[in-house]
């Protein structure tokens, strides 16, 4: 896991959803990567969790993290979750080639 500096709102969000990161040691939860945060919330969160994450991170940033997942990271998404968000992000978030 790559370390990431989260703002206080994201850290509070992670603390409120601590049970979704049950296998991450308590003292490491606030340092999870954006990739792991997005993957976990999209796979296991409910609609309110996803909408709150979008509000905190922005749909463009979440879509970027989602689409940048390759190989094993891409396979960490449940197939139905990957398919759903692939369609949603393709429709509502313009993709720019970098």
Per residue of the chain (98 residues), give pLDDT as tens.
Answer: 444 579 999 999 999 999 999 989 999 999 999 999 999 999 999 999 999 999 999 999 999 999 999 888 888 999 999 999 999 999 999 875 44
pLDDT at 72: 80
Using a 10 angstrom Cβ sphere, with 0-12 exposed, 13-18 middle and 19 or more buried, the burial of residue 47 is: exposed
b/e code 9-37 from CB counts within 10 Å (16+ = b): ebeebbeebeebbeebeeeebbbbebbbb
Give the chain's domain count.
1
Measured CA to CA, the distance from residue 84 to residue 9 in angstroms comes to 27
| 1 domain residue, yes or no | no
pLDDT at 74: 84
| 3 domain residue, yes or no | no
| 86 domain residue, yes or no | yes
| 97 domain residue, yes or no | no
Separation of first and last alpha carbons in the chain: 24
Taking the model in full, what pTM does it have?
0.87
| 37 domain residue, yes or no | yes
| 28 domain residue, yes or no | yes
| 27 domain residue, yes or no | yes
Question: Which residue segment(s) compose the domain that 65 sits in?
Answer: 8-92
């Amino acid at each position: 896991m790559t370390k990431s500096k989260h703002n206080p709102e994201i850290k509070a969000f992670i603390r409120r959803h601590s049970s979704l990161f049950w296998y991450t040691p308590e003292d490491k939860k606030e340092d999870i990567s954006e990739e792991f945060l997005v993957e976990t919330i999209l796979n296991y969160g409910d609609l309110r969790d996803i909408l709150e994450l979008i509000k905190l991170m922005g749909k463009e940033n979440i879509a970027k993290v989602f689409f940048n997942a390759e190989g094993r990271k891409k396979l960490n998404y449940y197939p139905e979750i990957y398919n759903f968000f692939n369609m949603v992000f393709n429709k509502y978030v313009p993709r720019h080639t970098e």
